[in-house]
C-alpha cells in the first residue's frame, strides 16, 4: 500500500477528482453563506439572478459530484488492493489505518471547521467496503446497484405518500435565525455549538442507514470499475464510455428537471437528487475520461488535475477559506451574500487553489495534508513490512 508514484498516476482520475471538488464547492457554498439546510430554496430566493444561478447548480451540479467523488474513493481503495495483492504485500492493516486517519481528519473538519463534512462518512463506508473488496467485480457492481435502487425506490414511494398528505415544503424560521445569529456574530463557542447542532441535524441514527444505502453503493461501483480497470482502458472501451457519456446524461437531465416542470416537493426533489444526480455523475465521469485522452486537454486542464491530485488538501482548504470569509471569527458575512455572489466567491477560491496546487506540486509530490496522511499511515519511512496479504 505505498502511495501511488507520480509515473503511475492516472491523469483521468486526477482530473475527475479536480472537477468533483469544483462541483462540491459550488454546492457547499450554498451552505457556507446561507442556512441552506433549513430553507425552501425553490421559494426562498426572489432575485431573478439568484433563481437562474440556483437552477443551474440544482440541475447540473447538486447531487452529481459527491457520487462521482465517492466512486473515485472506492476506485482508489480497490486500486490499492489490486497493487497489494499483485505484490503479495499486506492490505487490510494499512487500509484500516489509512481509514482511521481519514476519520480523524473528518472529526476535526466536522466539529472545528464546517459541519458539512463528508470524510467521516467516507471513512465509515470505507470500512464496510473492506469487508467486500475481495468479491468479484460483478458482485460488487450488483450489490452496489441493488443496495442503492431498492431502498431508494421504497423511500421514494413513501415520499409520494407523504406529499399526498401534506405537499408543503417547510422553512425552519427559528433554525434560520439561530444559524445567522451564531455564524455571523457569535463567539467561537457559539459557532461551535451551532456547528454541532447542524452536524447532528444531518447525521443521526436514522440518517446513518440512509447513508449506507446512498454512499456505500457508490464505493462498491467504484471498486468494481477499478477491478475491471475501466478508466485505464478508456481507449480500448471507447464505445462503452461514449454510451455512458450520452445515455445517462439524457435520462439524468430529465430527472433533474422534475421539481421545475412539476412542483417542488420532497418527492420530486428526491427523484431529482437520488436518481437524476447519480446518472449525471456517471455521464460526467465518462465525459472527463474521454476528454482526458486528448493532448490538448492534458495541457489545458492540467491545473484542475493537479488540484485533484491533492484532493484532501483542496477539499479541506475550501472549508477553511469559506468559513473564514463567512463566520464571525473571520469577515462575518454569513447571511449577507446572495447565490450569485457566493458562486463567484466559490470560483475565486477554486482559482486560488489551482494556482496553489501548481506551485506546490512543482516542489513536492503530494499536497501538505496528503503528506501528513501518508506519514500517519505508513510511519516515518513510509515503507510497508513486506508481509504477505
When pLDDT is averaged across residues 130-145 and rounded to a whole number, the result is 97
* Grid cell locating 217: 453503493
Instruction: Give the predicted TM-score (pTM) of the model.
Output: 0.93
When pLDDT is averaged across residues 307-314 and rounded to a whole number, the result is 97
d(CA 347, CA 25): 9
CB burial of residue 296 (10 Å; 0-12, 13-18, 19+): exposed
Mean confidence (pLDDT) of the chain: 92
The confidence score (pLDDT) of residue 380 equals 63
The confidence score (pLDDT) of residue 7 equals 44
Residue matched to cell numbers 441493488:
146
* Of the candidate ranges 3-12, 19-28, 240-249, 253-262, the one whose mean pLDDT is the lowest: 3-12
* Among the listed residues 160, 225, 124, 180, the one whose alpha carbon sits nearest the alpha carbon of residue 328: 180
Q: Quote the strand ranges of 28-142, DSSP E.
A: none
* Among the listed residues 75, 92, 106, the one whose alpha carbon sits nearest the alpha carbon of residue 4: 75
| Helix/strand/coil (H/E/C) assignment for every residue in 226-292 | HHHCCCCCCCCCHHHHHHHHHHHHHHHHHHHCHHHHCCCCHHHHHHHHHHHHHHHHHHHHHHHHHHC
d(CA 363, CA 372): 16
Amino acid at each position: 500500500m505505498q502511495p501511488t508514484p507520480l509515473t503511475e498516476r492516472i491523469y483521468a482520475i486526477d482530473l475527475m477528482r479536480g472537477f468533483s471538488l469544483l462541483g462540491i464547492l459550488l454546492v457547499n457554498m450554498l451552505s457556507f453563506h446561507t442556512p441552506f439546510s433549513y430553507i425552501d430554496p425553490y421559494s426562498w430566493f426572489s432575485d431573478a439572478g439568484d433563481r437562474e444561478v440556483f437552477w443551474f447548480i440544482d440541475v447540473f451540479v447538486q447531487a452529481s459530484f459527491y457520487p462521482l467523488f465517492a466512486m473515485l474513493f472506492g476506485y482508489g481503495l480497490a486500486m490499492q488492493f489490486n497493487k497489494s495483492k499483485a505484490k503479495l504485500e499486506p492490505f487490510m492493516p494499512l487500509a484500516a489505518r489509512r481509514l482511521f486517519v481519514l476519520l480523524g481528519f473528518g472529526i476535526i473538519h466536522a466539529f472545528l471547521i464546517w459541519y458539512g463534512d463528508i470524510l467521516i462518512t467516507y471513512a465509515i463506508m470505507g470500512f464496510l467496503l473492506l469487508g467486500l473488496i475481495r468479491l468479484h467485480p460483478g458482485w460488487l457492481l450488483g450489490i452496489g446497484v441493488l443496495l442503492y435502487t431498492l431502498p431508494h425506490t421504497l423511500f421514494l414511494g413513501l415520499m409520494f405518500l407523504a406529499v399526498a398528505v401534506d405537499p408543503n415544503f417547510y422553512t425552519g424560521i427559528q433554525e434560520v435565525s439561530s444559524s445567522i445569529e451564531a455564524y455571523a456574530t457569535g463567539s467561537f463557542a457559539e459557532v461551535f455549538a451551532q456547528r454541532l447542532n447542524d452536524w447532528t441535524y444531518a447525521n443521526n441514527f436514522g440518517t446513518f442507514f440512509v447513508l449506507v444505502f446512498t454512499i456505500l453503493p457508490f464505493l462498491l461501483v467504484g471498486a468494481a470499475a477499478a477491478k475491471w480497470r475501466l478508466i485505464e482502458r478508456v481507449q480500448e472501451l471507447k464505445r462503452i464510455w461514449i454510451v455512458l457519456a450520452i445515455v445517462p446524461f439524457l435520462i439524468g437531465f430529465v430527472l433533474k428537471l422534475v421539481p421545475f416542470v412539476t412542483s417542488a416537493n420532497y418527492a420530486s426533489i428526491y427523484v431529482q437528487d437520488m436518481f437524476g444526480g447519480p446518472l449525471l455523475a456517471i455521464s460526467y465521469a465518462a465525459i472527463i475520461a474521454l476528454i482526458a485522452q486528448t493532448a490538448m486537454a492534458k495541457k489545458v486542464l492540467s491545473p484542475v488535475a493537479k488540484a485533484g491530485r491533492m484532493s484532501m488538501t483542496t477539499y479541506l482548504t475550501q472549508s477553511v477559506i469559506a468559513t473564514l470569509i463567512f463566520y464571525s471569527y473571520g469577515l462575518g458575512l454569513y447571511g449577507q451574500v446572495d447565490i450569485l455572489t457566493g458562486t463567484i466567491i466559490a470560483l475565486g477560491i477554486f482559482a486560488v487553489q489551482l494556482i496553489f496546487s501548481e506551485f506546490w506540486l512543482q516542489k513536492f509530490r503530494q499536497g501538505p495534508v496528503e503528506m501528513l496522511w501518508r506519514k500517519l499511515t505508513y510511519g516515518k519511512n513510509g515503507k510497508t513490512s513486506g508481509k504477505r496479504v
